[in-house]
């Protein structure tokens, strides 16, 4: 396959960026999107030019690093996969592909396509953990958690913190991410002692980081590679209101 790429190049957070055109030639349809970028970068390095900076780590849909806006969609055109799981056979030979970083003021560009998503780490540090003593390791099947609840908690826990929900949202809201991290603990017995303190602390940090609010358009759910459900946001809002009305003293 031969492709034309329009890639966002930006030297640092302060510099003005622009789209630069590159040719990606002799690309195998079986290459992943990141492997295609590797090929382009090898050519740039051979020509002593600065390679395109982009984030990646696991390259198997686990770590959430690969954050690319491809033809206007976070993680590209395929549903429920990350950029690293996207293959070039999803594009047509001769196609022009526009590649940009996540667009959100809370995720400033570090260089080119790499953004600083430290805001997510700080939200997690504000409350996304269990710090009370939950006892020794229980025997298998010893905790009476109904399967349907355990499955729901597991589904929330599959959020990989990639930030596509923020990038997809017209308000750059982080509520899908935060609600998944709140829910994975709020659904389980171990998460109960700190449940209301946690939701208030994480929402306060989310607001402090400058993310927008949810206006229920559902773009986050539609673009999330892990299909995190909007019901997590409803649960987080319910817990937050309960905390504010009845549990203020627990903050
Ligand atoms: S909710 Fe989905 S899109 Fe948002 S950070 Fe988690 S996995 Fe990524
Ligand atoms: S590189 Fe880890 S999810 Fe894509």
Cα-based distances in Å from 201 to 5, 16, 43, 192, 243: 42, 35, 47, 15, 11
Question: Is the minimum distance from the CB of 208 to ligand 2 under 6 angstroms?
Answer: no
pLDDT digits (tens, 9 = 90+) for 110-159: 999 999 999 999 999 999 999 999 888 888 777 778 999 999 999 999 99
Ligand 1: which residue has its CA nearest to atom 7? 159
Index of the ligand 2 atom closest to the CA of residue 84: 4
Q: Would you say residue 71 has pLDDT above 90?
A: yes
- Residue 98: φ, ψ to 5°: -100, 125
Q: How far is the CA of 176 from the centre of ligand 1 (A)?
A: 7
Ligand 1 atom 8: the closest Cα is on which residue? 162
Range 31-52 average pLDDT: 98
Residue nearest to atom 6 of ligand 1 (CA): 159
Tokens of 64: 């959430």
pLDDT band of 249, cuts 50, 70, 90: low
Q: β-pairing, 114-115 with 3-9?
A: unpaired
Share of the chain above pLDDT 70, in %: 98
Q: For position 142, what pLDDT does the model report?
A: 79
**Cα Rg of the chain (Å, integer):** 20
| Ligand showing the shortest atom-to-Cα distance for residue 174 | 1
47-64 mean pLDDT: 98
Asked if 195 contacts 185 with a C-beta cutoff of 8 angstroms, the reply is yes
**Tokens representing residue 117 in the block:** 């998503």
> 196 pLDDT exceeds 60?
yes
Residue 248: the pLDDT is 59
Segment 6-21, tens digit of pLDDT: 999 999 999 999 999 9
**Residue bearing the CA closest to ligand 1, atom 1:** 177
Q: Residue 251 above 60 pLDDT?
A: no
Mean pLDDT check: name the lowest of 90-104, 129-143, 189-203, 231-245: 129-143
* Residue percentage of the chain with pLDDT more than 90: 92
* Structural domains in the chain, sorted by start: 3-111 (3.10.20.30), 118-250 (1.10.1060.10)
Mutate to test the pocket of ligand 2, among 33, 35, 55, 61 (most ligand atoms within 8 A of CB): 61
- C-alpha–C-alpha distance, residues 202 and 184, integer Å: 13
Q: Specify the pTM.
A: 0.95
In this predicted structure, what is the pLDDT of residue 247?
73
Best residue for ligand 1 mutational test, from 82, 226, 236 (most atoms within 8 Å of Cβ): 226
* Closest ligand relative to 124 C-alpha: 1
Confidence of residue 82 (pLDDT cuts 50, 70, 90): very high
Distance 70 CA to ligand 2 centre (A): 15
Q: What average pLDDT does this structure show over 97-122? A: 98
Spatial distance between the Cα atoms of 94 and 27, rounded to a whole number of angstroms:
11
């Amino acid at each position: 396959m031969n492709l034309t790429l329009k890639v966002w190049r930006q030297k640092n957070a302060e510099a003005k960026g622009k789209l630069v055109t590159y040719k990606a030639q002799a690309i195998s349809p079986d290459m992943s999107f990141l492997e295609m970028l590797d090929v382009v970068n090898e050519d740039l390095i051979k020509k002593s030019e600065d390679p395109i900076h982009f984030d990646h780590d696991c390259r198997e849909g686990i770590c959430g690093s690969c954050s690319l806006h491809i033809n206007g969609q976070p993680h590209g055109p395929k549903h429920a996969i990350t950029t690293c799981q996207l293959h070039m056979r999803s594009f047509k030979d001769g196609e022009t592909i526009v590649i940009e970083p996540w667009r959100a003021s809370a995720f400033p560009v570090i260089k080119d396509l790499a953004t600083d998503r430290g805001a997510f780490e700080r939200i997690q540090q504000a409350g996304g953990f269990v710090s009370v003593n939950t006892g020794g390791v229980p025997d298998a099947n010893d905790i009476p958690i109904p399967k349907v609840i355990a499955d729901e908690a597991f589904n929330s826990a599959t959020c990989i913190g990639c930030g596509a929900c923020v990038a997809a949202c017209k308000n750059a809201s982080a509520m899908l991410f935060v609600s998944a991290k709140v829910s994975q603990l709020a659904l389980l017995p171990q998460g109960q002692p700190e449940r209301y303190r946690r939701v208030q602390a994480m929402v306060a940090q989310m607001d402090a980081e400058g993310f927008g609010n949810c206006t229920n358009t559902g773009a986050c759910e539609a673009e999330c590679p892990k299909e995190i459900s909007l019901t997590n946001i409803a649960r987080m809002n319910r817990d937050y209101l309960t905390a504010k009305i009845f549990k203020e003293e627990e903050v």
